[in-house]
Structure 1
Amino acid sequence: MYPGSYAAWREEALEQLNAKNDRLQKDFGLGSWARYDYDLTTGRLLFSGEGVVKVIAEIQIAGSTSAKARNWLWAWANSNLPGDLLSDAKLVRSFGESNKIDELAQSYVIDTDNDLEALGWDLTGAMVRICNALGAYRSPRGEGGGLYLSIKSIDWAS
Protein backbone atom coordinates (compact mmCIF):
# COMPACT_ATOMS: atom_id res chain seq x y z
CA MET A 1 0.00 0.00 0.00
CA TYR A 2 2.84 2.38 0.76
CA PRO A 3 5.57 1.99 -1.84
CA GLY A 4 8.53 4.37 -1.27
CA SER A 5 8.23 8.07 -0.90
CA TYR A 6 5.85 8.95 1.89
CA ALA A 7 5.49 12.55 0.67
CA ALA A 8 4.29 11.37 -2.76
CA TRP A 9 2.04 8.73 -1.16
CA ARG A 10 0.48 11.35 1.14
CA GLU A 11 -0.06 13.76 -1.76
CA GLU A 12 -1.79 11.01 -3.71
CA ALA A 13 -3.93 10.19 -0.64
CA LEU A 14 -5.05 13.84 -0.50
CA GLU A 15 -5.95 13.76 -4.21
CA GLN A 16 -8.00 10.62 -3.60
CA LEU A 17 -9.71 12.25 -0.62
CA ASN A 18 -10.60 15.32 -2.68
CA ALA A 19 -12.13 13.09 -5.38
CA LYS A 20 -14.10 11.15 -2.74
CA ASN A 21 -15.33 14.36 -1.11
CA ASP A 22 -16.35 15.72 -4.52
CA ARG A 23 -18.41 12.56 -5.02
CA LEU A 24 -20.04 12.98 -1.58
CA GLN A 25 -20.87 16.58 -2.42
CA LYS A 26 -22.40 15.53 -5.74
CA ASP A 27 -24.32 12.51 -4.41
CA PHE A 28 -25.37 13.78 -0.96
CA GLY A 29 -24.88 17.54 -1.00
CA LEU A 30 -22.18 17.52 1.67
CA GLY A 31 -21.03 21.06 2.31
CA SER A 32 -24.33 22.58 1.21
CA TRP A 33 -26.73 21.61 4.01
CA ALA A 34 -27.98 24.36 6.32
CA ARG A 35 -26.91 22.43 9.41
CA TYR A 36 -24.77 19.54 10.52
CA ASP A 37 -24.43 17.85 13.89
CA TYR A 38 -22.15 15.10 15.03
CA ASP A 39 -22.90 12.72 17.85
CA LEU A 40 -19.83 11.03 19.27
CA THR A 41 -21.95 8.66 21.37
CA THR A 42 -23.62 7.14 18.30
CA GLY A 43 -20.80 7.75 15.83
CA ARG A 44 -23.01 9.65 13.44
CA LEU A 45 -22.78 12.83 11.43
CA LEU A 46 -26.18 14.29 10.54
CA PHE A 47 -26.92 16.83 7.81
CA SER A 48 -30.18 18.75 7.98
CA GLY A 49 -32.23 21.13 5.92
CA GLU A 50 -35.27 23.06 7.14
CA GLY A 51 -35.03 21.37 10.53
CA VAL A 52 -35.16 17.84 9.11
CA VAL A 53 -32.28 15.35 9.01
CA LYS A 54 -31.63 14.52 5.36
CA VAL A 55 -28.31 12.61 5.33
CA ILE A 56 -26.77 10.31 7.95
CA ALA A 57 -23.12 9.27 7.93
CA GLU A 58 -21.32 6.78 10.16
CA ILE A 59 -17.99 8.26 11.24
CA GLN A 60 -14.61 7.59 12.79
CA ILE A 61 -12.51 10.37 14.30
CA ALA A 62 -9.20 11.09 12.57
CA GLY A 63 -7.89 13.84 14.80
CA SER A 64 -8.00 17.53 15.54
CA THR A 65 -6.01 20.66 14.91
CA SER A 66 -5.37 23.36 17.47
CA ALA A 67 -4.65 26.95 16.44
CA LYS A 68 -3.34 27.68 19.93
CA ALA A 69 -0.89 24.77 19.98
CA ARG A 70 -0.29 24.93 16.20
CA ASN A 71 -0.47 21.17 15.83
CA TRP A 72 -2.46 18.08 14.95
CA LEU A 73 -3.44 15.54 17.60
CA TRP A 74 -4.33 12.04 16.43
CA ALA A 75 -7.67 10.84 17.77
CA TRP A 76 -6.10 7.72 19.30
CA ALA A 77 -3.99 9.98 21.52
CA ASN A 78 -6.93 12.04 22.81
CA SER A 79 -8.28 10.51 26.03
CA ASN A 80 -11.42 12.67 25.80
CA LEU A 81 -12.76 10.81 22.76
CA PRO A 82 -14.89 7.64 22.81
CA GLY A 83 -12.85 4.51 22.12
CA ASP A 84 -15.28 2.98 19.63
CA LEU A 85 -14.69 5.85 17.20
CA LEU A 86 -10.90 5.47 17.22
CA SER A 87 -10.35 2.10 15.53
CA ASP A 88 -9.39 3.62 12.17
CA ALA A 89 -7.03 6.11 13.81
CA LYS A 90 -5.40 3.19 15.63
CA LEU A 91 -4.95 1.42 12.28
CA VAL A 92 -3.15 4.52 11.01
CA ARG A 93 -0.87 4.43 14.05
CA SER A 94 -0.02 0.75 13.38
CA PHE A 95 0.59 1.55 9.70
CA GLY A 96 2.90 4.39 10.71
CA GLU A 97 4.80 2.19 13.16
CA SER A 98 5.15 -0.64 10.63
CA ASN A 99 6.38 1.70 7.90
CA LYS A 100 8.43 3.97 10.20
CA ILE A 101 6.37 7.08 9.35
CA ASP A 102 6.66 9.28 12.42
CA GLU A 103 3.77 11.64 11.68
CA LEU A 104 1.37 8.69 11.54
CA ALA A 105 2.78 7.01 14.65
CA GLN A 106 3.37 9.92 17.05
CA SER A 107 0.58 11.60 19.01
CA TYR A 108 1.21 15.16 17.78
CA VAL A 109 2.29 16.59 14.44
CA ILE A 110 3.60 20.16 14.50
CA ASP A 111 2.37 22.60 11.85
CA THR A 112 5.75 23.53 10.34
CA ASP A 113 4.23 25.04 7.14
CA ASN A 114 1.93 27.44 9.03
CA ASP A 115 -1.12 25.95 7.28
CA LEU A 116 -3.03 24.08 9.96
CA GLU A 117 -6.03 23.27 7.79
CA ALA A 118 -3.82 21.76 5.07
CA LEU A 119 -2.06 19.64 7.69
CA GLY A 120 -5.42 18.40 8.98
CA TRP A 121 -6.64 17.47 5.51
CA ASP A 122 -3.31 15.81 4.60
CA LEU A 123 -3.36 13.55 7.66
CA THR A 124 -7.06 12.84 7.33
CA GLY A 125 -6.39 11.92 3.70
CA ALA A 126 -3.80 9.41 4.87
CA MET A 127 -6.36 7.86 7.23
CA VAL A 128 -9.06 7.74 4.56
CA ARG A 129 -6.62 5.98 2.24
CA ILE A 130 -5.33 3.49 4.80
CA CYS A 131 -8.82 2.64 6.08
CA ASN A 132 -10.64 2.88 2.75
CA ALA A 133 -13.18 5.42 4.00
CA LEU A 134 -15.68 7.10 1.69
CA GLY A 135 -14.45 10.62 2.45
CA ALA A 136 -14.07 13.06 5.32
CA TYR A 137 -15.61 16.11 6.96
CA ARG A 138 -14.09 18.92 9.00
CA SER A 139 -15.98 20.48 11.85
CA PRO A 140 -14.58 23.88 12.83
CA ARG A 141 -13.69 24.39 16.48
CA GLY A 142 -14.14 27.58 18.44
CA GLU A 143 -10.45 28.24 18.98
CA GLY A 144 -9.60 28.13 15.29
CA GLY A 145 -8.80 24.47 14.78
CA GLY A 146 -10.92 21.65 13.46
CA LEU A 147 -12.17 18.17 14.25
CA TYR A 148 -11.60 15.84 11.29
CA LEU A 149 -13.99 12.95 10.79
CA SER A 150 -13.76 10.13 8.28
CA ILE A 151 -16.97 8.89 6.69
CA LYS A 152 -17.38 5.13 6.77
CA SER A 153 -20.92 4.91 5.37
CA ILE A 154 -23.52 7.43 4.25
CA ASP A 155 -27.12 7.35 3.15
CA TRP A 156 -30.24 9.43 2.87
CA ALA A 157 -32.34 9.59 6.00
CA SER A 158 -35.58 7.65 5.67
Structure 2
Amino acid sequence: MKFLDSLFGKKPAPTPAEPSPAADDAEIDATFARAEAELQLKTEAAVGMWGLGSGESWAADLEAGTITFINDKGWEITAPVQVIGTLNTADGTWLWGWDHPSVPAPVSEHAQAVRAFGEQHGLEALTTRKIEADETDGWTFTALACHLAGAQGGYRGPAGSALVFMTYGQVSIRDPNAG
Protein backbone atom coordinates (compact mmCIF):
# COMPACT_ATOMS: atom_id res chain seq x y z
CA MET A 1 0.00 0.00 0.00
CA LYS A 2 2.91 2.23 -0.81
CA PHE A 3 1.27 5.15 -2.57
CA LEU A 4 -1.61 5.36 -0.08
CA ASP A 5 0.51 5.28 3.07
CA SER A 6 1.07 9.03 3.12
CA LEU A 7 -2.64 9.75 2.88
CA PHE A 8 -4.15 6.93 4.89
CA GLY A 9 -1.34 6.03 7.25
CA LYS A 10 0.00 2.59 7.90
CA LYS A 11 -2.28 -0.08 9.28
CA PRO A 12 -1.36 -1.64 12.62
CA ALA A 13 0.37 -5.01 12.42
CA PRO A 14 -2.03 -7.95 12.46
CA THR A 15 -2.34 -10.14 15.54
CA PRO A 16 -1.19 -13.74 15.04
CA ALA A 17 -4.79 -14.91 14.59
CA GLU A 18 -5.45 -12.43 11.75
CA PRO A 19 -4.38 -13.01 8.16
CA SER A 20 -1.69 -10.76 6.75
CA PRO A 21 -3.08 -7.53 5.27
CA ALA A 22 -0.65 -7.71 2.32
CA ALA A 23 -3.25 -9.23 -0.01
CA ASP A 24 -5.82 -6.64 1.03
CA ASP A 25 -3.27 -3.83 0.56
CA ALA A 26 -2.52 -5.06 -2.96
CA GLU A 27 -6.25 -5.21 -3.72
CA ILE A 28 -6.74 -1.66 -2.40
CA ASP A 29 -3.77 -0.35 -4.42
CA ALA A 30 -5.11 -2.06 -7.54
CA THR A 31 -8.57 -0.59 -6.99
CA PHE A 32 -7.19 2.95 -6.66
CA ALA A 33 -4.93 2.52 -9.71
CA ARG A 34 -7.79 1.12 -11.79
CA ALA A 35 -10.09 3.94 -10.64
CA GLU A 36 -7.59 6.65 -11.58
CA ALA A 37 -6.93 5.07 -14.99
CA GLU A 38 -10.68 4.78 -15.66
CA LEU A 39 -11.31 8.41 -14.74
CA GLN A 40 -8.48 9.53 -17.00
CA LEU A 41 -9.98 7.61 -19.95
CA LYS A 42 -13.49 8.90 -19.23
CA THR A 43 -12.18 12.45 -19.01
CA GLU A 44 -10.33 12.11 -22.32
CA ALA A 45 -13.55 10.82 -23.93
CA ALA A 46 -15.58 13.76 -22.55
CA VAL A 47 -12.96 16.23 -23.79
CA GLY A 48 -13.11 14.72 -27.25
CA MET A 49 -16.89 14.26 -27.47
CA TRP A 50 -18.24 17.47 -26.00
CA GLY A 51 -15.32 19.64 -24.96
CA LEU A 52 -15.06 19.14 -21.19
CA GLY A 53 -12.33 21.41 -19.89
CA SER A 54 -12.38 23.81 -22.84
CA GLY A 55 -13.43 26.84 -20.86
CA GLU A 56 -17.01 25.71 -20.35
CA SER A 57 -19.27 27.27 -17.77
CA TRP A 58 -20.96 24.99 -15.29
CA ALA A 59 -23.73 25.05 -12.71
CA ALA A 60 -24.92 22.39 -10.33
CA ASP A 61 -28.48 22.22 -9.03
CA LEU A 62 -28.14 19.99 -5.99
CA GLU A 63 -31.86 19.96 -5.27
CA ALA A 64 -32.56 18.68 -8.78
CA GLY A 65 -29.41 16.53 -8.72
CA THR A 66 -28.07 17.83 -12.02
CA ILE A 67 -25.01 19.52 -13.43
CA THR A 68 -25.09 21.59 -16.60
CA PHE A 69 -22.13 22.61 -18.72
CA ILE A 70 -22.18 25.10 -21.58
CA ASN A 71 -19.20 24.40 -23.83
CA ASP A 72 -17.40 26.84 -26.12
CA LYS A 73 -19.73 25.84 -29.00
CA GLY A 74 -22.79 26.83 -26.96
CA TRP A 75 -23.90 23.23 -26.41
CA GLU A 76 -25.79 22.51 -23.21
CA ILE A 77 -24.57 19.31 -21.58
CA THR A 78 -26.67 18.06 -18.66
CA ALA A 79 -26.14 15.04 -16.41
CA PRO A 80 -27.11 13.67 -13.01
CA VAL A 81 -24.56 14.83 -10.43
CA GLN A 82 -23.15 13.54 -7.15
CA VAL A 83 -20.98 15.56 -4.76
CA ILE A 84 -17.98 13.61 -3.50
CA GLY A 85 -16.61 16.38 -1.31
CA THR A 86 -15.21 19.86 -1.10
CA LEU A 87 -11.65 21.04 -0.68
CA ASN A 88 -11.23 24.24 1.28
CA THR A 89 -8.24 25.84 -0.44
CA ALA A 90 -7.78 28.34 2.41
CA ASP A 91 -7.02 25.73 5.07
CA GLY A 92 -6.31 22.56 3.06
CA THR A 93 -9.19 20.51 4.42
CA TRP A 94 -11.52 18.06 2.70
CA LEU A 95 -15.14 17.69 3.77
CA TRP A 96 -16.88 14.55 2.53
CA GLY A 97 -20.16 14.85 0.64
CA TRP A 98 -21.66 12.09 2.80
CA ASP A 99 -21.76 14.46 5.79
CA HIS A 100 -21.64 17.91 4.19
CA PRO A 101 -24.25 20.41 5.42
CA SER A 102 -24.75 21.80 1.89
CA VAL A 103 -25.16 18.44 0.17
CA PRO A 104 -28.61 16.79 0.09
CA ALA A 105 -28.51 13.04 0.84
CA PRO A 106 -29.64 11.99 -2.67
CA VAL A 107 -26.55 13.63 -4.24
CA SER A 108 -24.12 12.08 -1.76
CA GLU A 109 -24.66 8.43 -2.72
CA HIS A 110 -21.34 8.11 -4.58
CA ALA A 111 -19.54 9.61 -1.58
CA GLN A 112 -21.39 7.06 0.59
CA ALA A 113 -19.98 4.28 -1.62
CA VAL A 114 -16.46 5.57 -0.92
CA ARG A 115 -17.21 5.64 2.80
CA ALA A 116 -18.45 2.03 2.67
CA PHE A 117 -15.25 1.03 0.82
CA GLY A 118 -13.23 2.80 3.53
CA GLU A 119 -15.13 1.00 6.28
CA GLN A 120 -14.64 -2.35 4.55
CA HIS A 121 -10.88 -1.82 4.23
CA GLY A 122 -10.15 0.19 7.39
CA LEU A 123 -9.17 3.38 5.54
CA GLU A 124 -9.66 6.20 8.01
CA ALA A 125 -9.32 9.00 5.43
CA LEU A 126 -12.43 7.69 3.69
CA THR A 127 -14.47 7.44 6.88
CA THR A 128 -13.46 10.63 8.70
CA ARG A 129 -15.81 13.54 7.97
CA LYS A 130 -13.10 16.22 7.62
CA ILE A 131 -9.42 15.62 6.88
CA GLU A 132 -6.34 17.44 5.68
CA ALA A 133 -6.04 17.00 1.92
CA ASP A 134 -4.96 18.62 -1.32
CA GLU A 135 -6.30 18.75 -4.86
CA THR A 136 -4.57 15.51 -5.84
CA ASP A 137 -6.35 13.76 -2.96
CA GLY A 138 -9.65 15.23 -4.14
CA TRP A 139 -9.11 13.73 -7.59
CA THR A 140 -8.14 10.38 -6.06
CA PHE A 141 -11.36 10.34 -4.01
CA THR A 142 -13.39 11.36 -7.06
CA ALA A 143 -11.80 8.65 -9.20
CA LEU A 144 -12.62 6.04 -6.56
CA ALA A 145 -16.22 7.26 -6.34
CA CYS A 146 -16.55 7.22 -10.13
CA HIS A 147 -15.20 3.67 -10.24
CA LEU A 148 -17.28 2.29 -7.37
CA ALA A 149 -20.52 3.88 -8.57
CA GLY A 150 -20.03 3.33 -12.30
CA ALA A 151 -20.31 7.06 -13.02
CA GLN A 152 -19.55 8.52 -16.45
CA GLY A 153 -16.95 11.00 -15.24
CA GLY A 154 -15.69 13.45 -12.66
CA TYR A 155 -15.47 17.20 -12.47
CA ARG A 156 -13.94 19.79 -10.16
CA GLY A 157 -15.49 23.22 -10.04
CA PRO A 158 -14.63 26.31 -8.02
CA ALA A 159 -17.08 27.69 -5.47
CA GLY A 160 -15.53 30.67 -3.70
CA SER A 161 -12.45 29.44 -1.79
CA ALA A 162 -13.58 25.83 -2.15
CA LEU A 163 -13.26 23.30 -4.93
CA VAL A 164 -16.26 21.02 -5.36
CA PHE A 165 -15.43 17.51 -6.56
CA MET A 166 -18.28 15.71 -8.29
CA THR A 167 -19.12 12.69 -10.37
CA TYR A 168 -21.70 12.77 -13.11
CA GLY A 169 -23.86 10.23 -14.89
CA GLN A 170 -25.08 9.80 -18.46
CA VAL A 171 -24.91 13.13 -20.29
CA SER A 172 -27.49 14.58 -22.62
CA ILE A 173 -26.35 17.15 -25.15
CA ARG A 174 -28.48 19.88 -26.65
CA ASP A 175 -27.17 22.10 -29.40
CA PRO A 176 -29.35 25.23 -29.41
CA ASN A 177 -27.78 26.20 -32.77
CA ALA A 178 -28.94 23.02 -34.50
CA GLY A 179 -31.70 23.74 -36.87
TM-score of the superposed pair, with normalisation by structure 1: 0.85
Counterpart of 2:39 in structure 1 is 17
Counterpart of 1:44 in structure 2 is 66
Change (3 A) 1:50 1:12: closer
* Superposition deviation, residue 86 in structure 1: 1.0
Counterpart of 2:53 in structure 1 is 31
Contact 1:88 1:131 in 2 (8 A): yes
Q: Unaligned stretches of 5+ in structure 2?
A: 1-22
- Which one has a bigger Cα radius of gyration? 2
Counterpart of 1:100 in structure 2 is 122
RMSD: 2.2
Contact 1:60 1:87 in 2 (8 A): yes
State the secondary structure of the residue aligned to 1:17.
helix
Tell me the amino acid that sits aligned with residue 169 of structure 2: K
Contact 1:76 1:90 in 2 (8 A): yes
Distance 1:123 1:104 in 2: 8
Q: Which has the higher contact order (CA 8 A, sep 6+)?
A: 1
Distance 1:45 1:147 in 2: 12
Tell me the amino acid that sits aligned with residue 147 of structure 1: V
Counterpart of 2:4 in structure 1 is none
* Superposition deviation, residue 10 in structure 1: 1.9
Tell me the amino acid that sits aligned with residue 142 of structure 2: T
Distance 1:50 1:12 in 2: 31
State the secondary structure of the residue aligned to 1:94.
helix
Contact 2:55 2:72 in 1 (8 A): no
* Superposition deviation, residue 23 in structure 1: 0.8
* Superposition deviation, residue 139 in structure 1: 0.6
Contact 2:69 2:77 in 1 (8 A): yes
Distance 2:163 2:94 in 1: 9
* Superposition deviation, residue 108 in structure 1: 2.1
Tell me the amino acid that sits aligned with residue 140 of structure 1: P
Change (3 A) 1:58 1:29: same
Counterpart of 1:139 in structure 2 is 157
TM-score of the superposed pair, with normalisation by structure 2: 0.76
Counterpart of 1:148 in structure 2 is 165
* Superposition deviation, residue 129 in structure 1: 1.0
Q: Percent identity?
A: 24
* Superposition deviation, residue 24 in structure 1: 1.2
Match of 1:76 among 95, 98, 119: 98
Match of 1:125 among 136, 143, 163: 143
Tell me the amino acid that sits aligned with residue 147 of structure 2: R
| Bigger proportion of residues as strand | 1
